Amino acid sequence: MVGQSPYSASKIGADQIANSYWASFGLPVTTVRPFNAYGPRQSQRAFIPSVIIQQLAGVTKLALGSLHPTRDLTFVQDTVAGLVAVAEASGGLGEVFNMGSGFEVSMREVLGIISEVSGTALRAEEDIARVRPVAAEVERLWSDSSKIKDVFGWESAHKGPEGLRLGIEKTYRWFRDNQDLPGYRAEKYVV
């Protein structure tokens, strides 16, 4: 594996260190790679909270980064359920498992769903400060989670277009009901 960005390189490094303890000392290690978790309480630096927080502040022309990349978004409850399933099982030691919804969606489509859920016509304005450098941008992330399903019986409860919309509705409601919490401000771009 080759890290395309410092972030991905650090994740690869962590996986390798953990696997070295499995290989050298038999420490029980199972590597789970969750794909783009989202949901209530997520940091404003992520796409979905950034859009929702700006919309709740009355902003309709949103400052965003690139909208063409696609992601496999996994609702936080599903991510937690997957991690618990792996932690409570005895299989999969020394192996690597992808954990995602299996549904690929562009950030432009996510913006459209949030627009529908919020009842607000949202428009995007590209903010150069939010656009990743070309060499660091991953254009497409999609999870083949068949292995984690086969070994641990886990699959996302929020999958496909309907599951994504349901997860975004839950996320929107949480941010709407908790918009006065410290740290969530539309005028602040969090990096």
103 found inside a domain: yes
175 CB-side CA count, 13 A: 30
Residue 140: predicted pLDDT? 84
Number of structural domains the chain divides into: 1
Contacts of 85 (CB under 8 A, 6+ apart): 152, 153, 154
Neighbours of 84 (CB within 10 A): 12
Residue 14: predicted pLDDT? 93
The answer to whether 145 and 98 have CB atoms below 8 angstroms apart is yes
What is d(CA 99, CA 191) in angstroms, rounded to the nearest whole number? 25
Neighbours of 44 (CB within 10 A): 18
40-54, 67-81, 97-111: range with lowest mean pLDDT: 40-54
Q: Looking at the predicted structure, is the pLDDT value of residue 127 above 90? A: no
CATH number at residue 140: 3.40.50.720
- For 122-141, give the DSSP string: -EEEE-GGGSPPTTT--SB-
What is d(CA 21, CA 26) in angstroms, rounded to the nearest whole number? 7
The answer to whether 105 and 142 have CB atoms below 8 angstroms apart is no
18 found inside a domain: yes
CA-based nearest residue to 135, from 14, 11, 6, 46: 6
Q: Looking at the predicted structure, is the pLDDT value of residue 189 above 60? A: no
Domain assignment of residue 59, given as a range: 6-177
CA angle 63, 67, 70 (to 5 degrees): 145
Residue 172: predicted pLDDT? 97
185 found inside a domain: no
**Per-residue pLDDT tens digits for 4-25:** 778 888 999 999 999 999 999 9
The answer to whether 37 and 97 have CB atoms below 8 angstroms apart is no
> Can you read off the two tokens belonging to residue 136?
């660091």
128 found inside a domain: yes
